[in-house]
């Protein structure tokens, strides 16, 4: 996997982008698990300025005569260069947003096709967003994720097809606005939008419909709309089709997909006492949730199964929370899909990067920030926009958080204003616990251990963005045996009750650190080993759903993951390695790897 001595990615460095495939390959890796994780079957670190290579073969799936074949990556950290049959098909910079390449023109007429992927990731050695990944894990800073860490799959599409859709609910107007971007469409093509009731027994009841062209806005009225909330996460069914008018008034259908629509509104307004509050569907809603960092004992950035993603959210709701702050990480679409279905509000952070601005939690450095290089700023803006674009259809997301504390905080006012203008349907938190600027929808402070009641302003609601940091490391229940990081020792369940009692008394939306223990950090509601033991299913298939997540894999239901399951040699990619630090990990991973033939 590792080619030592190659240069790390730098802006303008074309040599770092050329996929010069190795001549020999030294092992197997289970994709989509990162190389550093136990579930990958490798458990090795990529040296500084190293390069990670993947190779595998695949058969061309059944396609229409004039169809195209798309290769999708859920996420790969950080700079990814892809070639098929020795021809470069594209490159991508960004560790948290999905990307795709049309590989049709590189396919051989028959036989196996060869896919080669090269990835460079400087982690904290450069300016790119990385969250809590560091090359030297310690304290609250964790093991890096290099390369592919979300699903890779093939999608055959027709020459004329739907590329993407945008869904914007307008609760006050009782309507939903839509827009579709299509491939190969012209003025003869039309996009039809149909909304169905999803109430049991009424699934086929038509709510409303509309027709538009590619790139044009459509609107569907919903009378007496059923709203979405944590207590009642109602979702309407959405059917979208792309067709063309042919001779005799007949319609030829080219593409279709199924998704869902939620009628919900998030806003800031004064309550009956004249205090600025966060409102859901025009009513004050007390939001209370954990700081969720999204690391896994055996998979690091990658959950072992889709069931595991869902389990964490279900347990969070059982603990009495109605919100999760997704902390300096972006999850796969399926995580947000489960939040949509289960009724979990999400505050979504931008993964931090670059250097840190001067900061202290008491506001000493308010209205100050660091100055990024032009390359760093441009990269931040590009990745932030790509993340918003990939997630904006999820109704569970109610707040964007561009910065955490002073981590990489720069251009705060401009970034916050741009975010609000680009997506006015959500709240924007300029810097959670960071150096505050008078911009955005909320004023957010952090206090450890806290708690603390920040004061709202005349135009911003107040939130306690983080507090707690309390842990109870118990032998046999921690990620590592000793030297765990955490604050004062407290009893878990009584602590949760005390936290909520205070937060409700001051009526400030509150984030508790954290959902569960992470690496050396013992600050969670659930111990790391207990979290792992509660989900012992093997990682058979992490592909997205055909319909339910709103991002279809194959219009004909023939989607293939590349690689697919953890059951056969075809599901493993060749790798090349010259050795590096080996992370020893026990537990359920050993059995999974043995069953997959990787140990």
Per-residue pLDDT in tens (0 to 9) along the chain, 599 residues: 444 433 333 333 434 445 567 888 878 999 999 999 999 999 999 988 889 999 999 999 999 999 999 999 999 999 999 999 999 999 999 999 999 999 999 999 999 999 999 999 999 999 999 999 999 999 899 999 999 999 999 999 999 999 999 999 999 999 999 999 999 999 999 999 999 998 888 778 999 999 999 999 999 999 999 999 999 999 999 999 999 988 777 889 999 999 999 999 999 999 999 999 999 999 999 999 999 999 999 999 999 999 999 999 999 999 999 999 999 999 999 999 999 999 999 999 999 999 999 999 999 999 999 999 999 999 999 999 999 999 999 999 999 999 999 999 999 999 999 999 999 999 999 999 999 999 999 999 999 888 888 999 999 999 999 988 777 777 777 766 676 666 555 445 555 556 666 666 666 777 877 555 455 555 555 544 555 445 434 333 333 333 333 333 333 333 333 333 333 333 344 443 332 222 222 233 334 334 434 44
Q: Can you list the domains of the chain with their CATH numbers?
A: 2-158+555-595 (2.60.120.260), 161-261 (2.60.40.10), 286-533 (3.20.20.80)
Overall residue count recorded for the chain in this entry? 599
Q: CA dist 366 to 119, 147, 282, 328, Å?
A: 38, 36, 31, 21
Query: What is residue 22's predicted lDDT score, i.e. its pLDDT?
Result: 85
E strand intervals along 161-264: 161-170, 175-183, 189-196, 206-212, 217-221, 236-245, 251-261
Under a CB-based contact definition with an 8 Å cutoff, are residues 150 and 161 in contact? no
pTM for the model: 0.85
User: Rounded to the nearest 10 degrees, how much is the dihedral formed by the CA atoms of 341, 344, 347, 349?
Assistant: -60
- HEC string of 510-571 equals EEEECCECECCECCCCECHHHHHHCCCCCCCCCCCCCCCCCCCCCCCCCCEECCCCCCCHHH
Cα distance between residue 129 and residue 425, in whole Å: 25
Cα distance between residue 162 and residue 240, in whole Å: 9
Query: What is residue 62's predicted lDDT score, i.e. its pLDDT?
Result: 95
Tokens of 390: 């990939």
Query: What is residue 250's predicted lDDT score, i.e. its pLDDT?
Result: 86
Is the bond leading into 449 cis (omega within 30 degrees of zero)?
Answer: yes
Q: For 415-428, write each residue's pLDDT tens digit.
A: 999 999 999 999 99
Under a CB-based contact definition with an 8 Å cutoff, are residues 570 and 561 in contact? no
Query: What is residue 449's predicted lDDT score, i.e. its pLDDT?
Result: 84
Query: What is residue 552's predicted lDDT score, i.e. its pLDDT?
Result: 33
DSSP code string of 475-490: TTSSSSSS--B-SS--
Which element (helix H / strand E) includes 493? helix 492-506
Cα distance between residue 461 and residue 129, in whole Å: 28
Query: What is residue 212's predicted lDDT score, i.e. its pLDDT?
Result: 97
Question: What does the buried/exposed string (b/e) look like for 367-379 if buried means 16 or more CB atoms within 10 Å of the residue's CB?
Answer: eebbebeeebbeb
Cα distance between residue 114 and residue 87, in whole Å: 10
């Amino acid at each position: 996997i590792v080619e030592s001595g190659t240069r790390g990615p730098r802006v303008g460095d074309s040599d770092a982008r050329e996929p010069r495939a190795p001549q020999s390959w030294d092992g197997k890796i289970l994709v989509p698990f990162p190389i550093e994780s136990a579930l990958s079957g490798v458990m090795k670190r990529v040296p500084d300025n190293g390069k990670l290579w993947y190779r595998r073969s695949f058969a061309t799936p059944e396609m229409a005569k004039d169809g195209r074949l798309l290769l999708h990556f859920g996420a790969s950290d950080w700079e990814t260069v892809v070639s098929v049959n020795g021809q470069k098909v594209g490159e991508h910079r960004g560790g948290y947003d999905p990307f795709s390449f049309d590989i049709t023109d590189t396919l051989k007429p028959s036989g196996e096709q060869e896919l080669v992927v090269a990835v460079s990731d400087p982690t904290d050695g450069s300016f790119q967003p990385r969250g809590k990944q560091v090359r030297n894990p310690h304290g609250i800073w964790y093991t890096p994720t290099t390369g592919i860490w979300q699903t890779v799959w093939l999608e055959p599409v027709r020459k004329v097809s739907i590329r993407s859709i945008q869904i914007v609910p307008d609760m006050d107007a009782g309507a939903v606005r839509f827009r579709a971007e299509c491939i190969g469409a012209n003025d003869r093509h039309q996009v039809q939008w149909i909304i169905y009731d999803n109430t049991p027994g009424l699934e086929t009841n038509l709510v409303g419909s509309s027709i538009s062209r590619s790139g044009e806005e459509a609107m569907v009225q919903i009378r007496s709309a059923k709203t979405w909330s944590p207590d009642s996460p109602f979702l309407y069914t959405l059917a979208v089709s792309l067709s063309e008018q042919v001779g005799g008034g007949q319609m030829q259908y080219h593409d279709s997909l199924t998704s869902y629509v939620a009628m919900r509104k998030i806003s800031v307004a004064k309550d009956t006492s004249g205090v600025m509050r966060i409102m859901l569907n025009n009513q004050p809603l007390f939001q209370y949730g954990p700081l969720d960092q999204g690391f896994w004992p055996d998979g690091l950035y990658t959950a072992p199964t889709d069931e595991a993603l869902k389990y964490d959210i279900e347990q969070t709701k059982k603990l009495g929370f109605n919100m999760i702050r997704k902390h300096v990480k972006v999850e796969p679409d399926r995580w947000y899909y489960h939040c949509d279905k289960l009724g979990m509000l999400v505050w979504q952070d931008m993964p931090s990067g670059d250097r840190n601005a001067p900061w202290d939690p008491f506001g000493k450095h308010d209205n100050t920030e660091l100055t990024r290089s032009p390359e760093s700023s441009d990269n931040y803006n590009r990745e932030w926009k790509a993340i918003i674009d990939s997630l904006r259809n999820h109704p569970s997301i109610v707040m964007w958080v561009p910065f955490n504390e002073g981590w990489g905080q720069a251009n705060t006012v401009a970034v916050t204003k741009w975010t609000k203008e680009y997506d006015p349907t959500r709240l924007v938190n300029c810097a959670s616990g960071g150096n505050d600027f008078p911009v955005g929808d909320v004023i957010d402070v952090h206090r450890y251990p806290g708690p603390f009641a920040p004061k709202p302003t005349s135009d911003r609601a107040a939130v306690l963005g983080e507090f707690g940091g309390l842990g109870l490391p118990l032998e046999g229940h921690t990620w590592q045996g000793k030297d765990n990081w955490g604050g004062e020792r407290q009893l878990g369940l009584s602590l949760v009750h005390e936290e909520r009692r205070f937060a409700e008394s001051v009526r400030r939306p509150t984030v508790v650190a954290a959902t569960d223990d992470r690496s050396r950090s013992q600050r969670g509601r659930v111990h790391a080993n207990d979290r792992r033991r509660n989900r012992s299913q093997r990682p058979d298939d992490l592909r997205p759903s055909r319909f339910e997540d709103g991002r279809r894999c194959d219009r004909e239901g023939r989607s293939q993951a590349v690689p697919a399951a953890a059951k056969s040699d075809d599901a493993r990619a060749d790798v090349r390695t010259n050795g590096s630090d080996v992370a020893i990990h026990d537990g359920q991973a050993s059995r999974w790897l043995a069953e997959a033939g990787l140990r």
